[in-house]
Structure 1
Amino acid sequence: MRFALSILVLCASLTACATYRPSPLPASPPLRETLAQLRHNLPDGGEISTAGPLALRDVAALAVLNDPDLIAARAQHDVSSAELLSAGLPPDPAINAGFAALLGGPASMSSISAGFMQDVGALITYRANRAAAKAGLAQVDAGILWQEWQVASQSEQLAVTLAADAAATASLHADVTVLADVNNATQTQIVQHNLTLNDAAASMAALAVAQSALNAAQQTEAHDRDQLDALLGLEPGTEIPLALPEATPPVPDAIAPALATLPQRRPDLIALRYGYAQADARLRAAILSQFLPVSVGASYGRDTSGVLSAGPQMSLTLPLFNRNRGGIAAAQATRAALSAQYAAALANAEGGARALYANILLLGSQAEIARHQADQAAVMAQSARTAFAEGQISATALANLQSTAGERERAAIGLDAQLQSSEISLATLLGLGLPPLAAAPKDLSP
């Protein structure tokens, strides 16, 4: 009866064991062909409309929802959750049994023995290991949040760059059109023997330079579009309609308060704090492990003469020689390294934000001057085209003025894009607009 009951208990315990199920890899890349096929439902129940031009915030949200690398990073949360589950589970007990058949001698029966042992060392390090696992999970979540914000920032910057690419390409198209007309008119005058080949050299050279720049600009635009498509999980070459706002310089009074609260808001810094909390908990666990393993249990036996015996058992490691000194030293060094890493990251974050803000002020001034010069050059180029049509200036003069106007226009476009990209970067460095985390490292509890 006892044997049958033991078999029943063993079978019941085995039914709770995990079983293997295959999970094949995807056979094709999960890229979408249109914006409408992307995930566009927000966690708060909202929905991103992909019917018209996308604002920067819509581009960022779509990137966070659909970036393949982010989707892969979020799977790391389940790994850390499993580690937290493992930290809260006690080790399985061990049983042993023995049987010795009586082959001869004065004894009257075979001997049997049985024992049960449970490692209780996990109880000693439970709180420390649990705190370490919770900090590790929180660190992963904070790291994923920071990666999401970086992807959002990168997508916004690519959208700004792509808009600047389109504006630069349009400017070069306009230059090529005007310079081609000038070159054609010059060629006509040469055929009519009103001009010489020397007169055509300037217009031909200017057209060649503009056409080469247009080809390069089109390649750059296609490359930047492919990068944004990759962030959104789209097929390369997919067109993305954009509606971009004007640049909005940061308010100086907001810089200092943002820097003061940076460690409590920026996910990468918070992730480092969780990493330090995990290292600190692991150091406590390493110190407690000086006495491990510790096991308790019971034994039962019957010898060949029929004498029965039973009693408790315990094993304990005496910390005389090893004392887990290597593990403790490694844990202390890890904690110290993370402390230094956090201090360096905090210094880099503040220094980088201040330097970027100073650069934004410089870019703002340069962009304003460049736009004024571009407007002046555009007026002069328009007047030159009119004068050329009336035969008042040469093709060389018009080609030079048109090329200069185009270069200044594209310089202004580039500075505007740099300014807006820098403002996006500053918002990222300062952690502005980031959603708060559920708990700070000090709130961790086993």
Structure 2
Amino acid sequence: MRQTAYRVILDRLDAAYTPRCIGAPHLSDCLRQPGSTTPRGSGAVYAQITQGIALPRIQHLVAISAGIAMTILAGCASYRAMPLPTAPTAQPLSRVSVDPSKLRLPALASRRFDPADGLDMTEVAMLAVANNPDLRLARDDLGIARAQAFAAGLLPDPQLGIANDYPSPSQPGATRAFNYGVSMDIMALAMRPYAKQAANANVAKIDLGLLWQEFQTAAQARRLFVKVRAQDAVLPLLYQARELTGRRYAVLRQAVERGNVAADTVTSALTAEQDARKQYADAQHATLQAHEDLNALLGLPAGSTLPLVDGGSAPRAQADATPDALDHLPERRADLLALAQGYTAQDAQYRTAILKQFPSLTVGFVRARDTSSLYTTGFQINLTLPIFNRNRGNIAIETATRQRLHDEYENRLNQAYADIKRLQADRSILVDQLNGAEAALPALKQLSDAAQHALDAHDITLVSYTDDRMAWIARAVEVATLREALAEQDITLDTLLGVTAPADLLTLHAPASHHD
């Protein structure tokens, strides 16, 4: 019966605005068949529902409902499709542009990006920060955090309640009863400042985490640049070593076959030739891997050939870091600042949990009329009684979470100082090794050149020449490897010390003290 009545009313509401309904006193009169005294196709059920309902009131309610619906829908967001890609989207270098003004690292923002004349170390770092796929995801995370901060700052919507009652069947002197009320969640208003503080601190945390990731990406790009350039320089030396040892082995094998030398001599020559061949093959694989790692870091298609050239800002030696850098490390390291902002956000969450232990309060005002035309005005209060729960579980969770973030920051700070001290000590060892290797290199080069002249003059054998040449090649490869390791270590120290941090951003997000 109820479903039938609802369906009949919904089916007939459109008749309220037909020409025949203009001036009709009641909805039941409007919906009768012309010349008939009973409603169309509804029977006694429909007659009971529509009896005494004034048509102008129905029209008024329909107009109000339509106006409210139009107002609400006008501010609504609309759906926009975003289809997934069906093919690789990585762009070649020729189609990638970098705007230095959008880079936050000062060492990169002050340079002009122009791949036409080759990519130096700084330009490679610029391209990595601007085009790295992981950084793109991190920037999306920052957009999510900013949207969450926007949502946290919005005022709670008031709640509107509307109720209308129609006498059925109609009684003499009875009128439509209504109850209108508007209310607001007071507790949501009280917690809004802490929600905004937590959301803004979370934005700062994500932003600083992104900055630290940009630091690391730029440093990794520099390290890969150094590695690729070093391996490209070493590869010809290893190829030369493979060819020399191969020729020496062939000569000695022929000498053994003629009985001119002992068999163990050719065995050692074969071992040296196999070692040189393996070393060259390993270097080829490492060089290919370094090139592909660099392409992936820069967001370029696999197999891209980069025109790398020397130049750009070389890493600064940090054998003895300045006291200022170490003393102000918490203000210079973006990862430490990000953890500090995460602690600030959690501290606000902890305060919010404490507030939620108090009664949740909703206050509103009510205007009503009953069927006897008696008007009343009053207020309503909805109160949650904190008897059993009192939000104790969430308070315990937020307290434990804050303690973990406190310990995480402390551990990261201690680890940062330990890493710097370890790298400085290791760098001293590398410097001593490099100095020793470089000191011996000129003499070995001179002996190698002299052996080359002697071989050209047929004064020495190929075996003797190969020994002298291999000694210089081995030392040259060692020097190149040590230089690469030292350069990579200086890049890492630059990053760990925060020597290229944008001072304005780090000052803006400097960590503050927190108290219970």
Same fold (TM over 0.5): yes
**1:30 maps to what in 2?**
89
Q: Deviations over 1:293-319 (max 9, x none)?
A: 321112233333332222111222233
> Residues 320 and 202 of structure 1: is their aligned pair in 2 closer, same or farther, counting only changes over 3 Å?
closer
Which amino acid letter does the alignment assign opposite residue 369 of structure 1?
A: G
Moved more, 411-420 or 393-402: 393-402
Deviation at 1:114, TM superposition (A): 2.9
Q: Which residue of 1 aligns with 2:341?
A: 274
Match of 2:352 in 1: 285
Report the identity percentage: 30
- Please, which moves more after superposition, 217-226 or 377-386? 377-386
Question: Counterpart of 2:377 in 1: which secondary structure?
Answer: strand
* Compared CA separation, residues 204 and 369, structure 1 to 2 (3 A): same
Q: Is residue 2:157 matched to residue 1:92?
A: yes
Q: Could you tell me how far 1:433 is from its partner in structure 2?
A: 0.8
Ranges in structure 2 where 5+ consecutive residues have no aligned partner? 1-58, 103-108
**Native 8 Å contact 2:331 2:511 kept in 1:** no
User: Would the alpha carbon gap of residues 356 and 260 (structure 1) be closer, same or farther in structure 2, given more than 3 Å must change?
Assistant: same
Aligned match of 2:324 in 257, 266, 271? 257
1:357 aligned partner: 424
- Distance across 2 between alignment mates of 1:285 and 1:250: 45
CA RMSD, aligned part only? 2.8
Letter in 2 for 1:250: Q
Q: Distance in 1 between matches of 2:412 and 2:394?
A: 27
Q: Distance in 2 between matches of 1:73 and 1:350?
A: 26
Q: Distance in 2 between matches of 1:441 and 1:329?
A: 28
* Larger deviation, residues 76-85 vs 143-152: 76-85
8 Å CA contact retained: 1:168, 1:410: yes
**Aligned residue for 2:128?**
63
- Quick check: 2:316–2:491 contact (8 Å CA) kept in 1? no
Matched with 1:132 is: 198
In 2, Cα distance between equivalents of 1:299 and 1:130: 31
User: Which residues in structure 2 correspond to 1:310-321 (within 5 Å)?
Assistant: 310-321=377-388
Tell me if the contact between 1:180 and 1:207 (Cα under 8 Å) persists in the aligned partners. Answer: yes
The corresponding residue for 1:431 is: 498
Q: Answer whether contact 1:206 1:403 (CA < 8 A) is retained.
A: no
Q: How does 1:256-405 map to 2 (within 5 A)?
A: 256-390=323-457, 392-405=459-472
Shift of 1:228: 0.5
Higher relative contact order (CA 8 A, sep 6+): 1
Match of 1:153 in 2: 219
Summarize the Cα distance change of 1:200–1:389 in structure 2 as closer, same or farther, 3 Å threshold: farther
Q: Partners of 1:442 and 1:379 in 2: how far apart?
A: 58
* Aligned residue pair count: 441
Match of 1:171 in 2: 237
The residue aligned with 1:143 is 209
Residue by residue over 1:191-247, the C-alpha shift from the partner in whole angstroms, topping out at 9 and shown as x without a partner, is 9x5956846555554333322221211111010000001111112232221315777
Amino acid at match of 1:262: L
User: What are the residue-to-residue correspondences of 1:412-423 with 2, within 5 Å?
Assistant: 412-423=479-490
Report the counterpart of residue 145 of structure 2 in structure 1. 80
Moved more, 209-218 or 422-431: 209-218
Distance 1:407 1:307, change over 3 A: same
Residues 102, 109 of structure 1: 8 Å contact kept: yes
**1:255-314 CA-partner distances (Å, limit 9, x unpaired):** 321011111121101101111111111111111122353211122333333322221112
TM-superposed CA distance for 1:152, in Å, is 0.2
Distance 2:159 2:221 in 1: 55
- Cα distance in 2 for partners of 1:251, 1:211 equals 37
Deviation at 1:358, TM superposition (A): 1.2
Q: CA deviation at 1:130?
A: 0.8
2 CA distance for matches of 1:106 and 1:8?
Answer: 33
Answer with 1 or 2: which has the greater Rg.
2
Structure 2 residue aligned with 1:43: 101
- Cα distance, 1:400 vs. partner? 3.6
The equivalences for 1:227-266 within 5 A come to 227-240=293-306, 241-244=308-311, 248-250=316-318, 252=320, 254-266=321-333
After TM superposition, the score normalised by the length of structure 2 is 0.78
> Secondary structure of 1:51's partner?
helix
1:406/1:222 Cα in 2 relative to 1: closer, same or farther (>3 Å)? same
Aligned residue number for residue 53 of structure 2: none
Q: Is the 1:222–1:237 Cα contact (8 Å) retained in structure 2?
A: no
Q: Per-residue displacement from partner, 1:165-190 (whole Å, max 9, x unpaired)?
A: 11220211222343455456667878
* TM-score w.r.t. length of structure 1: 0.90
How far apart in 1 are the matches of 2:389 and 2:174?
Answer: 47
Given the alignment, which residue of 167, 181, 186 partners 1:102?
Answer: 167
Q: Render the CA deviation track for 1:370-395: whole Å, top value 9, x for unaligned.
A: 22233333333333444455555554
Q: Secondary structure at the match of 1:43?
A: helix
What SS does structure 2 have at the residue aligned with 1:95?
A: strand
Corresponding residue for residue 287 of structure 2: 221
Q: Determine the structure 1 residue equivalent to 2:72.
A: 13
1:322-350: per-residue Cα shift (whole Å, max 9, x none)? Answer: 22111122122221111111111111111
> Which ranges in structure 1 are unaligned for 5 or more consecutive residues?
none
120-129 or 243-252, larger mean C-alpha shift:
243-252
- Asked whether the equivalents of residues 136 and 274 of structure 1 are also in contact (C-alpha less than 8 Å), the reply is yes
Once the 2 structures are TM-superposed, how far is the Cα of residue 408 of structure 1 from its aligned partner? 2.0
Give distance in 2, aligned partners of 1:85 and 1:159: 41
- Evaluate the alpha carbon distance shift between residue 247 and residue 260 of structure 1 in structure 2; reply closer, same or farther with a 3 A threshold: closer
Contact 1:283–1:331 (CA<8 Å) still a contact in 2?
A: yes
Q: Give me the whole-angstrom Cα distance separating, in 1, the residues matched to 2:371 and 2:276.
A: 105
